[in-house]
Structures are given as C-alpha cells and as structure tokens.
Structure 1
Amino acid sequence: MDKNIFSAVKAADRAYLERAISSREAVPDQRDQNGNTLMHIAVELKRNELAILELLISNGWDVNSQNNLGATPLHYVALRKDSGRPVALLLLKNLANTQISTNLGHTPLHLACERYKLELVQVLLEHKAIPGSMDRNNNTPLHVLLLSQGRDTVAREIVEVLIKGGARLDTKNCEGNDSLLLASSRGFTRVCQLLLQNGSNPRITNDFGNTVVHLSSAAGHSELVEMLLELEMPYINVTNADGDTPLHLAVKNNHAEVAAVLIKKGSSIATKNAAGKSPLDLVSQDEKSIFAVKHPELIKLISSRKPKSKVPEEEDIGCLIF
C-alpha cells in the first residue's frame, strides 16, 4: 500500500491521499527507500502541490523531517523548476527550519544559491537563514553560488542580496578561496566590481598562492583581467606556489588574448617558474606547437618584447678569447 500512496502523491492525486489518510493507510512516519516522506515528494510536484502540502501538514506530517541525505522538504524546494517561493512560504509559515544541514553540511540557502534561485534566497534570508553557514568544505552559500554554473548578471543580484543579509566576503573555503577569488575564476566582472566596492581585498591569495589575476588569467577572462589591472595593484608579476605568474597560466592554458593584455600591461616574459620555465620558454620551446600555429600574432608580440642579449664591449672581447 505504501507504494500506491507515494505514487498517488507523485500523481498529485489529492482525493486518493485523503482516503488513505482517513483510513490510516497513509501516516506521517512512512518513508520510501531513500528516506523521503510524502512531504519530500509533494514539494517537487508541478501541480496541486500547495493543496497536498496543506493536507499533509494539517494531518501531522513534519515539515522538518530529514531523509537519508539529511535533506528536509525545504531543501527540495530549490530543485523546483520555478522560483519555489510559494512552496517555501507555506513551509516556513508552518515552522520549517532554514538552518538544518544535510549530511554534506548544506542548508536550504546553499542549495538555493547553487541553483541561482534569487527569490528563494530572499525568502530564506527573511526567515533567519544564516549566510555564513559552512558545508563540509567550508563553503558558505556565497562560495557555492560562485562555484556553480550561472550568469554574471544574476550572480551579482544574488551576491547583493547576500551582502545585505550579512554575508562575510573574506571567508575562505578549504582551498583558501574567498568570494573575490572564486568570482575572478568564473570571469564575473560585475560580481568582482561589487565585491571590491564592498571591501574585498584585491591582494588576497588562496592556499596555492594564486591571486585574482592568476585565476582570471588561467580561465581566459581578458575583460576581467583588464579591469583588475586598472586597479594598479602590484601583482601582475606575482608568482604562485609553482612560481607561475599570471602570464605563465595564460600561456599554459592557451589564452592568447589574456596573454596579450598582460604583456601590454608590462608582464615579464622572462620570469622563470619553479620548473625553470619562463612564459617565453613555454611558447618558444616548440615552434610547431598548437599555440604558435593558432596565435602567430602573440608570438610576434612576445618576440618584440624579448630581452636583448648583452653584447660585450670591445675592451672585454680580448678577455673572452682566453
């Protein structure tokens, strides 16, 4: 009978569910193989979800019940295709807890940020969600947002809401990345501008010694690299833990446009990394490399910046003969 009850909820069959509740064939402690209650299932319905949720709540179903993953129905609101706002408001009206974490340490706010659900983020923050809560990798909801797939414009709106909600911008995750470092790796120019306006440190480095220019260069975000270099921070030739400058990373990752920006802004083509390679070495070590073939204009630019060899003065030549 349990299987039929769960199927009835998935089919949004309110009449069947009412009969099952009346006959005690459907009870609050019933769970499927994943530990989901009927509440977890109802949250994701595409129709009649509010009516079915109200029916379950009025008959004793727990809005804060956790499944095998540690997720509550409120966590699953973020999985909906729509904003999830009406469903979230119904659960919150009935005392859903915004601070419960899954087994991986994710709160509903983490998941709302992961899915770029702006309205849901706003609702959760209005109901005591904690923007500084960390998952098992020390990622806050802000970190999760910037680690997930989405657009710069939407991300900026959500970041602004999180900042107003009290999110700290300098918190680092398990790899030492704060929000500015993550935003730079994604090429989110608008988000980076907002973070800098709100006090983010442009000189910040992660556990691997990478600056915002390292990360944006490695990912090929030329527009952001130009914007960051306009701050006139002295980090265009800063090296990371591997001895790489931003130019090393741009060349290694075949980002010719970024490399050109860095060189024009004064990046050194002679600085050697821990492997003893300069950006010039990485390009010129194989004249038949894909990089050289695809980007002859960059090779020309680099060649024009090659350090000139010192020619011994005439009085020194005699000494060199011996």
Structure 2
Amino acid sequence: MTPEDASAALLSAAAAGDVPAIERALASGAQIETRDERGRTPVLLATAGGHVAAAQALIARGANVNAQDAQQDSAFLLAGARGMTEIVRAALAAGADWRITNRYGGTALIPACERGHVETVRLLLTTDIDVDHLNRLGWTGLLEAVILADGGPRHQEIVRLLLARGAQVNQADRDGVTPLQHAERMGQREVAALLRAAGGR
C-alpha cells in the first residue's frame, strides 16, 4: 500500500469509526494529518461521525485536535458544540486551544451553552476559556443559553455554572438587551430568577 493509499484508507476508517482499520492505515504509512476534499482531518471525521473511540485513538496517536477544516471546524470545537464530553476531555489533555473560534466567531463554550450540553460546559469551565467571549452575533455563552434556549432544567444549570464562573450577568447584546431582559421577554421564569439573584438588571 502506498502512503497515499494508506492516507485515503485512514480517512475512510476514521469516518466509519473503525479503530482496527485506523491502526492498520497508520501502520501502513498513513499521514495522521491527511485531509479530505473539505479539509477535514481523520480526527475531525471521527468526531463528526460521533465515533468516540476512534477519535480517542487518533488523539492518543498525536492527532492535532486544533486543526480546522474549510468551514473552521476542529475536533475540539465540534465536540464542544455536539456535547461529546469524552472527546473534549481527550482533546484538552492533548493540548486543545480553547481560544480558537468557529465560523461564527464563537469558542467551543458558546454552542455548548446554547445546546444545553451541561457536562461539556462544566468541563470547559475548568479551563481558562473566556466565559464572556463575544461571537460575531455579539452573544456570549450566557446570552445564547437564554436567547436560543427554552429555559428548561439543562439551561438553568448552565446559567448557574456560568454565573458561578463569574460570567458578566449584565453583558448586553448588540441591541442593549441584557440576559435578564431576554429571559423575562421569553417567559423563562426560573432563569430570570437566577439572573436577578446574581445582580441582573
């Protein structure tokens, strides 16, 4: 098998989550940072497919968890957005850069907050990630946990976690609307109560 064929086999194996095939491709000379036509590396393909063991195996072999594809996804960013906490944990142990941003200008934390991935948020908040980072929409993780959510138990817990970490409770959006004002407008009573207790206006 040529190195080029081995690298192609690695991409296919990663996308399928086939750990033995990943190991065979690497043993045959595949480049662990090879990319497909969309700029995706094997570890990003494994993550995109939800293949935790495959992603962990690639990370253990030295895959770059910060490598971004054509649309600025990386294994670390995508795992955060999809709530794949075990891949996030492995990525952090392998040197994930929590400062890198996705195509919306957001860190891994922001979509995790929006989508209610409590354990992923909890893990990311153990790093020095900027809890008040603003994405291109002018929203923080706290704003997204309110604006793009339903105010249910998962998002309530995320609001608690963000506030405990010191998130700016009155950081407004581009229109000057604060998290509390959004919560009140959306009828999120429990979230509104949490924000008020933290000094929200």
Shift of 1:222: 1.0
Q: Name the residue aligned to 1:258.
A: 158
Q: Where do 1:196-275 residues align within 5 Å?
A: 196-231=92-127, 233=128, 235-251=130-146, 252-254=148-150, 255-275=155-175
Q: 1:245 to 1:117 in 2, by over 3 A?
A: same
Whether 2:195 is the aligned partner of 1:302: answer yes
Q: Where do 1:1-322 residues align within 5 Å?
A: 95=1, 97=2, 99-100=4-5, 107-150=8-51, 155=52, 157-231=53-127, 233=128, 235-251=130-146, 252-254=148-150, 255-287=155-187, 292=188, 296-307=189-200
Partners of 1:99 and 1:185 lie apart in 2 by: 32
Partners of 1:273 and 1:107 lie apart in 2 by: 45
Shift of 1:100: 4.3
> Which entry has the higher C-alpha Rg, 1 or 2?
1
The count of corresponding residues between Structure 1 and Structure 2 is 196
Partners of 1:129 and 1:299 lie apart in 2 by: 53
Gaps (5+ residues) in structure 2? none
Relative to the length of structure 2, the TM-score reads 0.84
Shift of 1:138: 1.0
Maintained 8 Å contact 1:125/1:165 = no
Deviations 1:64-117 (A, max 9, x none): xxxxxxxxxxxxxxxxxxxxxxxxxxxxxxx4x56349xxxx933222222211
Relative to the length of structure 1, the TM-score reads 0.55
Q: Once the two structures are aligned, what percentage of the paired residues are identical?
A: 23
Give the secondary structure class of the aligned counterpart of 2:161.
helix
Superposed CA RMSD in Å reads 2.4
Q: 1:281 to 1:117 in 2, by over 3 A?
A: same
Higher RCO by CA contacts (8 Å cutoff, separation 6 or greater): 2
Gaps (5+ residues) in structure 1? 1-94, 309-322
Q: 1:277 to 1:175 in 2, by over 3 A?
A: farther
